[in-house]
Chains A and B, each alone.
Chain A
Amino acid sequence: MTLLKIENLTFSYPQSIQPALKNINLAIKKGSFTGITGPTGAGKSTLAYCLNGIIPHFQGGKLGGQINLRGDSLFTLGTAQISRVVGSVFQDPDAQIISADVEQEVAFGPENLGVPPEEIEQRIAEALYLTGISGLRRRPTTVLSGGQKQRLAIAAALAVLPEILLLDEPTSELDPAGTEEIFQVLKKLNREHGITIIIIEQKTEQLATHADRIVVLNEGAVVMDDHPRQVFSKQQTLEAVGVRIPQVAGLAGMIGVNDRTPLPLTVEQAHRFIERILRR
């Protein structure tokens, strides 16, 4: 089922000559895990702003095309309505956490939507459990690690019970362990709880492992939109655009792939790929 349908979406910031988004067409299915990547200035964040209502509600500009959320035009919905469906998590954990402690941070969204107190309690417990930070409930937010802060930001978004989690480079400030924490949480939310994930990310090794679809943006346009295996097979295009190719995929690209030995995306897949070749 298509949850979000983006049709001919075009956007230009005020006073800029080049449009930031040019004729974007994408359909996001319910329960999918979509990775969006591409170089700086490709329009990735602008696209995210169109999906969570920052455009047109807080950022002016010239907007064309349409985004449909289950048949409703997203542009006619208010930000409060959009926030019930699309939960957003951004790059800098410190910029989005506003409360003094973990519990208050998670309660903020549902309180603002007028959710009854008993239910808020239940949602806090559930959101903290899903992100694996139940034990941090009473902690001040200032003492959390980067990975814990981003998990809290995800928990706060989840407490509103969105169908879609939209994340804009949530791991760019995190170390490898923190990055892994976030992807594990997203994988669980997606696989076990059916939450639709849209994540903007430079770390293509993680996207290749976890996403079921990858969209590559360049200069405001979609240049690739396919399964990770297909996307990372087109290595010349990726190099031209400036997208990092996961090392194991790059190696397989040099060796050559075929139907019997498809492109590996993880170390485990690459291990089997090499074994098949060496035994051939």
Chain B
Amino acid sequence: MNRQVLIKAENLTFKYGTEPPVLRNISLEIARGECVAVIGQNGAGKTTLAKHFNGMLKPVSGKVYVGGRDTERLKVSVLARTVGYVFQNPDHQIFHDTVGKEVAFGLKNFDLPGKVIEERVTAALETVGLTAHHATYPFNLSKGQRQRVALASVLAMQTEVIVLDEPTTGQDYRESMQIMNLVKKLNQNGHTVIFITHDMALVAEFAQRAIVLCNGEILADGGVRSIFSRPELLKETFLKPPQITALAQSLNRYAIPPDVLKVKEMYELLKARGEEIGCFS
């Protein structure tokens, strides 16, 4: 299958006014069907980069292409058909008085018949588990639920690319897993997903590729296994691999590989290793 590039940045540099650049010389390609995590410490430029993917921000120099089109001359409302963006704080994007109206809002610009809009809203609310809240005032919901309203609004637009800025911040464990499993399902259904997070265990479990930002530059860009196998590199942007990966790296002399990502995977490896030397019950 041909690799079809959906998002491409070429020497992207961005700054606010006369301040030093927030992004410097970023070049990357994201292809259809990828699930990419953007990681790095606070202030590394993650959100600023993501906002270039739907045209909310335009490069000061360099180029960003979405679906082959230069974002320079494209409005956010046009790019919104290709790239959906879920903000970190759902309260920054929710402004209608019912959940249903909120989710329908983005579709109003799509010239769709009312019936189709209603179908899409119903389907999106069902996907995020908020069917019962169609007529609820969004601010009567919990923050976790509002985060899912924001996600439903983007799902209803059925965009090829979905960008999520820290979708699990402020969520409890179960809510985080619900959101990430939903993201996984979207990716399996063919959507290209880009998510920003500080939770390395989520990166290990849900992303295939990680882009590591540090002070506005790309420090590394590659498969999650190879990125997490380089703890000294992560340290430069004050990150650490997940606990289980760090444990694997400390067990180097027992022939445990340094790129273990999941607890179950580690368990299977240890079981095999233990059975070999006859010490695992």
A residues in contact (CB < 8 Å) with B:
38-41, 91, 145-147, 172-178, 202, 205, 242-244, 246-248, 250-251, 254-256, 267-268, 270-271, 274-275, 277-280
Q: Assess whether B81 is interfacial by the CB under 8 Å rule.
A: no
Are A202 and B172 in touch, CB under 8 angstroms? yes
Are B244 and A247 in touch, CB under 8 angstroms? yes
Whole-angstrom distance between the Cβ of A115 and the nearest chain B Cβ: 34
Q: Which of B238, B254, B281 has the most CB of A within 10 A?
A: B238
A277 and B174 in contact, given A146-B42, A247-B242 (Cβ under 8 angstroms): no
Q: Which residue of A lies closest to B198 (CB)?
A: A175
Q: Which residues of A contact B263 (CB under 8 A)?
A: 247, 250-251, 254
Q: Assess whether B182 is interfacial by the CB under 8 Å rule.
A: no
Identify which of B42, B200, B250 contacts A145 (C-beta below 8 A). B42
Q: Which residues of B contact A202 (CB under 8 A)?
A: 172-173
Whole-angstrom distance between the Cβ of B269 and the nearest chain A Cβ: 10
Whole-angstrom distance between the Cβ of A214 and the nearest chain B Cβ: 14
Bound: A263/B142 CA distance, A: 35
Identify which of B43, B244, B266, B274 contacts A277 (C-beta below 8 A). B274
Q: Which residues of A contact B43 (CB under 8 A)?
A: 145
Q: Which residues of B contact A247 (CB under 8 A)?
A: 201, 242-244, 247, 263
Q: Which residues of A contact B170 (CB under 8 A)?
A: 91, 172-173
Are B279 and A278 in touch, CB under 8 angstroms? yes
Are A278 and B277 in touch, CB under 8 angstroms? yes
Q: How large is the interface on B (under 10, 10 to 19, 20 to 34, 35 or more residues)?
A: 35 or more
Q: Which residues of A contact B41 (CB under 8 A)?
A: 175-177
Are B169 and A172 in touch, CB under 8 angstroms? yes
Q: Which residues of B contact A176 (CB under 8 A)?
A: 41, 198, 200, 238-240
- Would you give 13 A-B contacts (Cβ < 8 Å), ordered by A? A40-B172, A146-B42, A175-B41, A177-B239, A242-B172, A243-B173, A246-B243, A256-B281, A267-B247, A270-B243, A275-B251, A278-B254, A280-B279
Q: Which residues of B contact A178 (CB under 8 A)?
A: 42
Are A244 and B270 in touch, CB under 8 angstroms? no
Q: Assess whether B273 is interfacial by the CB under 8 Å rule.
A: yes
Of all A-B residue pairs in the complex, the 8 with the closest CB atoms, nearest first, are A177-B238, A242-B174, A247-B243, A244-B173, A247-B244, A280-B279, A175-B42, A39-B172
* Interface Cβ pair total, 8 Å cutoff: 97
Bound: A274/B250 CA distance, A: 10
Given contacts A175-B198, A277-B270, A278-B279, 10 further A-B contacts (CB under 8 A): A40-B142, A176-B238, A202-B173, A242-B174, A250-B263, A251-B263, A251-B267, A251-B270, A271-B247, A279-B279
Q: Which residues of A contact B173 (CB under 8 A)?
A: 39, 202, 242-244
Identify which of A146, A251, A278 contacts B274 (C-beta below 8 A). A278
Bound: A251/B242 CA distance, A: 13
Are B254 and A39 in touch, CB under 8 angstroms? no
Bound: A277/B173 CA distance, A: 30
Bound: A5/B266 CA distance, A: 43
Whole-angstrom distance between the Cβ of B213 and the nearest chain A Cβ: 12
Identify which of B171, B247, B277 contacts A274 (C-beta below 8 A). B247
Q: Assess whether B16 is interfacial by the CB under 8 Å rule.
A: no
Are B254 and A274 in touch, CB under 8 angstroms? yes
Bound: A256/B270 CA distance, A: 13
Are A248 and B171 in touch, CB under 8 angstroms? no
Bound: A1/B23 CA distance, A: 54
Bound: A85/B144 CA distance, A: 33
Q: Which residues of A contact B247 (CB under 8 A)?
A: 247-248, 251, 267, 270-271, 274
Are A255 and B243 in touch, CB under 8 angstroms? no
Q: Which residue of A lies closest to B145 (CB)?
A: A40
A40 and B277 in contact, given A172-B170, A176-B200, A278-B254 (Cβ under 8 angstroms): no
Q: Which residue of A lies closest to B243 (CB)?
A: A247
A251 and B244 in contact, given A145-B42, A277-B279 (Cβ under 8 angstroms): yes
